[in-house]
Amino acid sequence: MTGRPVKHSLTIRGHRTSVSLEAPFWDEFRRIAETEGKTLNALATEIDAGRGTEAGLASAIRVHVLGHLRARLDRLG
């Protein structure tokens, strides 16, 4: 893994945008969306709506992924 961000296009509220995340974040973001029965666009739209103006979308997605991973670890004990 090089750790270099990978750019993907998403559609949020009808507008196309590109987001650059490292491959492990994309993998986990996809897993979360699938587990919740949502598309990547739908999950990104939810994250975007809750992020405010102080964080970029890529950062907000990373924090969201981290929160899910921490919650999973907490459930494991």
Q: Is pLDDT of 1 > 70?
A: no
3-state helix, strand, coil in the chain (%, to 5): 55, 20, 20
Name residues whose C-beta falls within 8 Å of residue 52's C-beta, 6 or more positions apart in sequence: none
pLDDT of residue 3: 79
pLDDT of residue 2: 64
- Superfamily grouping for domain 5-76: protein bp1543 (1.10.3990.20)
pLDDT digit string, tens, across residues 11-62: 999 999 999 999 999 999 999 999 999 999 999 999 999 988 888 999 999 9
Q: What's this model's pTM, rounded to 2 decimal places? A: 0.90
